[in-house]
Every structure is written in structure tokens, then in C-alpha cells.
Chains A and B, each alone.
Chain A
Amino acid sequence: MIEVRNCVKRFGPTVAVRDISFSVPKGEILGLLGPNGAGKTTTMRILTCYMPADEGTVSVAGYDVATDSVEVRKRIGYLPENAPLYKEMYALAFLDFIARVRGIPASKKQSRIDDIIEICGIKEVLHKRIGEMSKGYQQRVGLAQTLIHDPDVLILDEPTTGLDPNQIKQIRDLIKEIGREKTVILSTHILPEVQATTNRVLIMDYGRLVADGTPDELSKKAKGAESLVVQVRGPEESISDLLTGIEEVTRLRLADSEEEFHRFELSVTNGRIAAEKVFSIAVQEGWTLRELRPESQSLEEVFYELTMGEREEQ
């Protein structure tokens, strides 16, 4: 359904997308994961024909984005980052505008809009101006706008950013629901997001693709990147020697020291066993242990592990 071959995009000296290739078969929900500035938005803008790639070929549903841009756009529903919408418009008038541009015949327009209102659950805000709605409802109107013409492909740029946990859950469910018959690409910089909604993940970093797999494969890889925070009182030198000596510890970093206490961040392969070993060493050495806790993974660390892993395999 979507084919990207050797795509490159530069903005002056910055290379936003460096030679990426991937394809998305019909019916897949693909997550594009990466930190800010990874090139997710740029990739999506190329797919949706907002801007052309400098090199490479991109096609959607068999149409090339460079030569058949209008045909491509007819087949895509796109929600740009932050869901930019016409704030002064009423939701109903906005959907009516989109339906007109999407070429929905006048006879079918009303029933189509009614269906979408139902699916997206926006009945209660229809007569509000979009700017007066909560962020969650704005996001729903943004999604509704992508669905009016029943497109084959949905492209959603960070659809849950800026929402509260309830709204996030609702939007994810909605995406899963409508993604059943469509090919979907959604981007995010939050790891759990892809696990919750997608069946395949591409990880981008510095404009490159660094990983490609199912969310399960990804989280297995990421398992190697658990971390522990340890704060102890004792001689810094021997603490760091002994902790590095633990088999499960792959990396050690001194985060801060205050008076006699030193805080270390450890990357570990098995958090539970590593924590036990840290504890018994501290008891043996007579260090005062003030803090010993596992820390949730930051995406950067997952990246670190993933990209290092890739390099070692090569």
C-alpha cells in the first residue's frame, strides 16, 4: 500500500530524512517511533505530498507522490501534528467543508457526516466552535476529518500528544477501531503508545531507520535496557569499581554527589537480580544505602541499546 525507497530530505544543512526505505502492506497499523527531531513529521509530510523528497521514490496505493500528488491525497486521511484546525469554525461546518473538498456527492454527504460523528463520538460538541472544545475533542474532530472520504490510508502525526490519560485511552481505542480495515501510520515519541496500538514498529533516529519489528520484538530488545538508580555513602572509586563488576550491569554513570553520598545510574540486563547484588555488596562493604530503585526506561536508553545492538550485529 505504501512504498518508500531511498528517501532523502534536507533542509539546508540539516538532513531530516537520511535514505530511508520501508513498505507498509495493506491493513497494517504501523508505528513510527522516535524522539523529537528524528524526522517522523518530515516523513509524513512527504507521504502526504505536503513537501517533496529530495531523493528517492515514494508511492501510495500505486501512485507516485511526485507525479500523481492529487490521486495520492484523495486516498489519504491526514492528521498533522498538533491537529491544526480552523478554530473559529463550528465542527459541523468544518466537516461539511472537508466533505465538499473530498468530493462527497451532496446526496450522500449528510449521512456520511452523521456516520463519522457517530464513530468519533463528537455529537455533543457539534455546535461549538472548534477552538472552544477541549483538546481531546479537537483531536476527535481532527480524526473525523481524516475519515470522511473513507480513505484506504490514514496518516496520524502524534495523535495523542497533549491529551490527558483518559483522552489518550479513548483516542487509542478509536484508532484501533478505525484501523481495522485501513492501512495506518501513526507517529509517536512514547514507547507504550506503539505497544498499545500498532502491529509493527519502525524506530527513527537522526533521520535514519534504526529498528523494524513487532512491538513484542521491540520490547524484548528493550528489556536489555532496564536501569537502576543507586545512592550510597562510601568511597566513590571503590563503589564504581564494585558496581561495574556486577555481571548484569552494562553501563554505569555517576549522576551526582552530595557530601558523602553518590548517586549512580546503572543500565542493567536484569533489574531484579542486579538490585539484589547491589544490596549485598553494600552490606558487605558497610556502605549506607539511601536509595535503590528501578527506573522506567527513557526512550533514549532504548535507542542506545537498539542502535548499539544493530552495530554489534553488523
Chain B
Amino acid sequence: MRNIFAVARREFQGYFNSLIAYVFLVIYLLLTNWLFFRPFFLNGQADMRNMFAIIPWVFLFFVPAITMRLWAEEKKIGTMELLMTLPIKDSEAVLGKFLAALGLLATALILTFPTPIIVSTLGNLDPGPMWGAYLGSILIGAAYLAIGVFISSLTENQIVAFIISIVVIFLLYIMGNDMVLFSAPAAFASVLEFLSLGSHFDSIGRGVIDLRDIMYYLSVIVFFLYLNIKSVESRKWR
């Protein structure tokens, strides 16, 4: 536990040391608020739905940007050897890095709180869908993060990690899309839909919180963190 937090703390500070955090937070807040307030002023809708509908697409680029360095950088400058010879278990290092990235993402989401508060003073805000949307965002964000951190552990090159993460997350997201499902064989289509990152988000975002959706995201997170531990261990098999 102590080690997980020590690693997470170092990585979290690292985001702020290298300005990545500030750039990320500022762009994220500008983008989401612009996307939110534009329809709000155009047709006076006091509704958070638009803002959250685009979350999976915003995260598609933001999450790989914050995960790409986590392992690739350590491998490139050689600090991997320093880190892995400290009395830290591989799993603790993986969890620490994941939590640091999750911390940054959570910070971004918390900083968007003023928006619903403003909306609720201007009109009636239905709190159910709003909380559902936040829950859905953090879940899908965490799943993206787990994928991104894992992919970062496969290469020394941050840009490669960034691009591959975008491609993989995009494919996992889009495979539950109607267009894909329509062209796939029926039996296969339901599997694709179940495994897709996107289909589970839509229902949570509507405020329908189903335990199965939550379990789905937690499983994706656990699965990719497990792969990450294995890929970090793989230095020992070569």
C-alpha cells in the first residue's frame, strides 16, 4: 500500500512538474465547457447530456496523452532499472502509475463541477443523469487509462504509445456501434456489443445505473492492469 501511494504520488507530481497537468486541465476545461455552453445558449437547454455525450471522444485523445509517458519514459531513460530494483512489487508499481493517471483525470472531472452548479441556478437540473454521467465518465476514463498504461509498457517511444493507444481504444469503443453491429453476423454482434467500451457508457450516461455496466468497466480495468503486470515482468523472461 505504502509503495503504491509513493509511486502514485511521484507520478502525480511528475505531471505537474512537467506542465502536462496544466496543459491537460486547461484544454480539457475549455473544450468541455465550450461544447456544453454552445448548445445551451443556442437553444437554452439546461442539460448536461451534450457535454457527456462527447466524453468518450475527448478522452480518446486526452487519456493516451497522459498515459503514454508512464512506462515508455522509464524504459527510455533507464529509470526502469532503478524503479524495479527498489523493494516494490511489479503490481505495486503498475497500480501506482494507474492511480496517478486516474488522479489527474478525476481532478479534471472535479474541476467541471462549476458547470452543473451554474446550470442548476439557471434552470432545473435533473441530478440523476448528472451523477450517472460523472460515474460513467470516471469509469470509461479509468478503462481507457488501464489500456493506455498497458500500451505504454510495450514500447520505449511515447509517440508510438500515444498512437497505438488511440487506435486500440477507438476500436474497442467503436465495435459496439450500430454500423459495425449491423454488418457483423448476429451471434457475433451481441458479443461485440457486450465487449465494446461504448455501449455500456450510453446507458450509464442516461442515468440508468446498472451493476452489470459497472462490473464490465471494472473487469476491463482489472484485465489490462493484469496484462500490464505481466508485460513489466516480461523483462525477466527474456
Contact = CB atoms under 8 A, between A and B. Distances in A.
A70 to B, nearest CB: 5
Contacts of B238: 11, 51
Contacts, number: 70
A84 B87 contact: no
Contacts of A45: 81
Nearest to A86: B79
Interface in A94-142: 97-98, 100-103, 129
What's the dominant secondary structure at chain B's contact region? helix
A87 interface: yes
A141 to B, nearest CB: 11
B35 interface: no
A88 B84 contact: no
A4 interface: no
A85 interface: yes
A101 B81 contact: no
A81 to B, nearest CB: 8
B18 A88 contact: yes
A51 B235 contact: yes
A49 B200 CA distance: 42
A88 B14 CA distance: 7
B78 A80 contact: yes
Contacts of A97: 6, 9-10
Interface in B1-22: 2-3, 5-7, 9-10, 13-14, 17-18
Contacts of A50: 81, 84-85, 235
A270 to B, nearest CB: 45
Given A84-B79, A97-B9, A70 B89 contact: yes
Size bracket, chain B contacts: 20 to 34
A6 B110 CA distance: 57
Given A97-B6, A100-B2, A101-B3, A89 B17 contact: yes
Contacts of B80: 84
Given A50-B235, A89-B17, A80 B87 contact: no
A45 B3 CA distance: 21
A292 to B, nearest CB: 46
Contact of B82 (A85, A87, A102, A129): A85
B171 interface: no
A80 B14 contact: no
A84 B82 contact: yes
B85 A78 contact: yes
Given A52-B236, A97-B9, A101-B3, A80 B81 contact: yes
Interface in B56-100: 77-82, 84-89
Given A50-B81, A50-B235, A73 B9 contact: no
